[in-house]
Amino acid sequence: MIPAVDNLAPDRFIFWVPPAGAAVLAGADRQPVALPEFPLPLHNSVDNGGVPTDETIGQGVYDYLRQFPECPGNTVYAELLRDAYPHFVSDLASHAVLLDAKDVEPAFVARKLTCLKILCLLEPHNLGLLRQLCRGYFELALEFSELANCRRHLLDAMRFGQNLLAIEADDPLALSLLAEIDFLLGDTPAAAGKWRRLVARICDPLVRERITARIAACSCDECPETALVDELEVVAEAMRLHASGDDALAAELLGRIEEVGQLTTTLPSADFFWLLGVCRQGAGDIGGALRALHQALQLESDHAGARVALDSL
């Protein structure tokens, strides 16, 4: 039975099921590659009255998979690209290398990670890919402009980290990042357990001291009352309110986080105090705005946004 597959972009794609025995011709020697009897995405601009061309099949699968790397059938699509359209797989690797070679915006980092996700479908036990994906999604989660998606990015990082530990049970990178993720999600016992496993493998006394301090922070007396990821999402909501012109409510939300001090102590951020400053300015609290903007510059002396906001005051 041919599986049913939900179309994640019906405005752009249609699905076509190849008939039994259908194949495309691949490579310079035009060798036939069998098509799976599985719904394949095609651009809906393609005339589906007959059999689509080899080129339109490959382009549709490639574009759909890049937009939806977690889609049903993603491994089937990736394997088809590998076997029949290897130039698309090379294109994915080239994009990942190019974006890794320069300092880029979070949107481009997300694009690179999508490329790596697809490559990982073809090599699910590739330790290098798993490490890049775990670290990449963790770092993306903490980008200020990505805080609205921080929980989703952290869960992606966790998944790849767990896949890494399933292969290398004591991989230091996976243990370190998964402990940080557990801590951010509020699971301090799990975080402490991973840090204990990690510290047993560390020889550097300074690193051991830092990890031991993190373990101590997970004690019952010092456990955060709320998960840090919840507070990061509040910051994202404050950014949305600021963008919509409601600086008063945004400043109120950020002020509560500053008063509690949990987030600003654990993850000190010049961006946080810049946002607090401009929201207070918009709400008419000039003194509070000045204090927040100076705190931003104490954390990052060349923070452009904070300097511009101070000049305007």
Residue 193, token pair as written in the block: 């357990």
Mean pLDDT of 121-127: 96
Q: How many whole angstroms separate alpha carbon 313 and alpha carbon 298?
A: 18
Residue 56, token pair as written in the block: 């339109």
- What confidence tens digit (pLDDT) does each residue in 126-172 have? 999 999 999 999 999 999 999 999 999 999 999 999 999 999 999 99
Beta-bridge partner residues of 26: 31
Task: Determine the residue type at 120.
Answer: C
CATH architecture of 124-222: Alpha Horseshoe (1.25)
Q: How many CB atoms lie within 10 A of CB 131?
A: 18
**Whole-number pLDDT of residue 27:** 78
Residue 293, token pair as written in the block: 């903007």
- What confidence tens digit (pLDDT) does each residue in 32-84 have? 999 999 999 999 877 656 678 999 999 999 999 999 999 999 999 999 999 99
143 half-sphere exposure, CB direction, 13 A CA radius = 18
pTM: predicted TM-score of the whole model, two decimal places: 0.90
**Whole-number pLDDT of residue 205:** 87
Cβ neighbours for 160, distance < 8 A, ≥ 6 positions apart: 120, 130, 133, 134, 137
Q: How many whole angstroms separate alpha carbon 293 and alpha carbon 281?
A: 10
- Residue in 283, 258, 286 with CA at minimum distance from that of residue 273: 258
Tokens 């090379």 correspond to what residue? 90
In which residue ranges of the chain is CATH 1.25.40.10 found?
Answer: 124-222, 231-312
**Whole-number pLDDT of residue 140:** 95
- Determine the topology of domain 231-312 in CATH: 1.25.40
- What confidence tens digit (pLDDT) does each residue in 220-241 have? 555 556 899 999 999 999 999 9
Residue 85, token pair as written in the block: 């359209």
Mean pLDDT of 101-127: 87
Contact 211, 199 (CB under 8 A): yes
CA distances 165 to 108, 159, 169, 258, 307, Å, are 27, 10, 4, 36, 44
Contact 150, 236 (CB under 8 A): yes
Q: How many whole angstroms separate alpha carbon 97 and alpha carbon 38?
A: 31
Burial profile 276-302: b = 16 or more Cβ within 10 angstroms, e = fewer:
bbbbbbbbebeebbbbbbebbbebbee
